[in-house]
Amino acid sequence: MQHTTGAARSRTARGAWLAPTAVATLVLAGCGGSADATGADGATAVSLSFEWTCEGNWAIAYLGQDQGYFADQGIDLSFERGQGGSTTTPLVAQGEYDLAVLSAPPVVLGAGQGLPITVVGVAASQSPVAILADASITGPEDLEGRSVAVQTDQFEGAVWEAFVAATGIDASAVEVVPSDDAAQAQFIAGDIDAIVTFYPTPSTLGLLEGREGEETVLQMQDFVPTYGHTIVANDDFLDDHGDAVRGFTTAWAEATKYAEEHPDEALAALTDNCQELDADAAQFTLDAYLAAYSSSYAEENGYLSFDPAGLDETQSVLVDGGLMQETDLSGFSSQDYLPDPAVTP
């Protein structure tokens, strides 16, 4: 199979493993996507992992099934929660899942390790990482002399480091606190001034509602641009079932459009199927994800469309944050599996 760059898939020469101090080396089980995934009814079984627990973007999968978009494309879709991008990315590489909806940074980290994965679509062309801050903080310079909770061992930490470098703030003047449940409680109590968060999640709503007064939201995209959610495929599955992958992206795009046009049905799909989400969290995360997925870039080029340069920008943030070495990413994405014709908002 050829990528849009014209280079056949070959990872042996390009796969640059991360330094052990940055990310532990992953050992693959060698059990890629199955070549016999087609059932007796002609439908191709596709296993999908989301990045985390049920939240707004799951409505797309539910509506895609309810409205028959996946079935129309010959897809028998099953999906489940992931364990975060850093853990789920290697599971896709191992063939535990055929496809996954994962944030770009851990996927790019996996590409830097030479994992057998390919980005076949980008659902969100902008970073979901944001800084929630006390209302007295209106810009990066106001973080000096204040405390900020950051998940320093996750990709948010790399985004933070790149943010510091890009904005020129004095890192020594910022008290960085490891972000955990205790830090979130301290932020709500007003004992920590700011917190770096993955914005379209129930936890963000809890932070915003729990803390008294107004908050400032600084979007990292304005300072250190990265891609958000990608659609990533296991390479063996992609080689064996390329038509099914294109069918999946088409159905996903159609279901995204349907969710955008029928928000009440999308919300009902969440509240009916995700008992762990209360109504407010379902509404908040649905609105946030639909806004991210229906960007101006999607309006111009179609849902899931992307420019490979966006993956390079994502890599630059990770390199600046010290999480990886620069790698040629040209063979780790393909636009060959995007919906044709494009599905636009």
Would you state the structure tokens that stand for residue 94, as one six-digit string? 């191992």
DSSP 28: P
Burial class (CB in 10 A: 0-12, 13-18, 19+), 159: buried
Measure the CA–CA gap between 91 and 101, rounded to whole angstroms.
Answer: 12
Q: Which CATH number fits domain 44-125+227-332: 1.20.1250.20, 3.90.79.10, 3.40.190.10, 3.10.310.30?
A: 3.40.190.10
Q: What pLDDT is recorded for position 154? A: 78
Q: Are the beta carbons of 113 and 123 closer than 8 angstroms?
A: no
Q: What pLDDT is recorded for position 36? A: 57
Measure the CA–CA gap between 94 and 86, rounded to whole angstroms.
Answer: 13
Assessment of whether the complete model's pTM goes beyond 0.85? yes
Q: What pLDDT is recorded for position 321? A: 81
Each residue's pLDDT, cut to its tens digit, for the chain (345 residues) gives 333 333 334 343 323 333 333 333 333 333 444 445 766 478 999 999 999 999 999 999 999 999 999 999 999 999 999 998 999 999 999 999 999 999 999 999 999 999 999 999 999 999 999 999 999 999 999 999 999 999 987 778 889 999 999 999 999 999 999 999 999 999 999 999 999 999 999 999 999 999 999 999 999 999 999 999 999 999 999 999 999 999 999 999 999 999 999 999 999 999 999 999 999 999 999 999 999 999 999 999 999 999 999 999 999 999 988 889 999 999 999 999 999 999 999
Q: What pLDDT is recorded for position 323? A: 85
Burial class (CB in 10 A: 0-12, 13-18, 19+), 8: exposed
Q: Which of 268, 200, 259, 232 is nearest to 47 (CA)?
A: 232
DSSP 25: P
Would you state the structure tokens that stand for residue 225, as one six-digit string? 């641009």
What is the β-pairing status of strands 129-134 and 194-198? antiparallel
Within the chain, which residue ranges are assigned CATH 3.40.190.10?
A: 44-125+227-332, 129-222
Would you state the structure tokens that stand for residue 91, as one six-digit string? 């599971």
Q: What pLDDT is recorded for position 153? A: 77
> What region, left, alpha or beta, does residue 266 occupy, with left being phi > 0 and alpha being psi -120 to 50 degrees?
alpha
- What DSSP line would sit under 279-292, residue for residue? HHHHHHHHHHHHHH
Give the pLDDT confidence of 291-322 residue by residue, as tens digits: 999 999 999 999 999 999 999 999 999 998 88
Q: Strand pairing partners for 148?
A: 176, 194
One-letter amino acid of 294: S
Cα separation values, 343 from 193, 205, 234, 244, 245, Å:
42, 30, 24, 17, 16
Q: What pLDDT is recorded for position 31? A: 41
Q: Which CATH number fits domain 129-222: 1.10.540.10, 1.20.120.80, 3.90.79.10, 3.40.190.10?
A: 3.40.190.10
Would you state the structure tokens that stand for residue 277, as one six-digit string? 């989400």
Burial class (CB in 10 A: 0-12, 13-18, 19+), 71: middle
